[in-house]
């Protein structure tokens, strides 16, 4: 995922989120600047809460409707959590 960073020369350029908290140079003027750190702390809390809630639902489905339904539900939620982690 990328976001736009603005240099003091008023040139915008894309920066991948892997560079958060590091130094990069502007492709237009060459000035070094620090990429701001991303605020992912709250997403961890939300993702862990969603994983815990879905774990309870998958376990209940496993007990109530059998192994296939519980396993399919757990796999689907794992895929959704992975997708949410990659997007946000």
- Domain ranges across the chain: 2-34, 41-87
**Tens-digit pLDDT string for the chain (88 aa):** 677 888 999 899 998 878 888 899 999 999 999 988 766 556 667 777 777 777 777 778 778 888 887 778 778 877 877 777 666 5
DSSP per residue, 17-84? GGGTTSEEE-TTT--EEEPPPP--HHHHHHHHHHHHHHHHHHHHHHHHH-HHHHHHHHHHHHHHHHHH
**Is the model's pTM score more than 0.75?**
no
């Amino acid at each position: 995922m990328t976001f736009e960073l603005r240099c003091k020369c008023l040139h915008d350029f894309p920066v991948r989120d892997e560079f958060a908290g590091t130094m990069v140079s502007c492709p237009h003027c060459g000035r070094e600047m620090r990429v701001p750190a991303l605020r992912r702390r709250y997403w961890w809390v939300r993702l862990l809460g969603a994983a815990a809630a879905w774990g309870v639902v998958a376990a209940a489905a496993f007990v109530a409707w059998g192994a296939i339904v519980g396993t399919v539900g757990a796999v689907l939620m794992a895929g959704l959590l992975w997708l949410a982690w990659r997007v946000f």
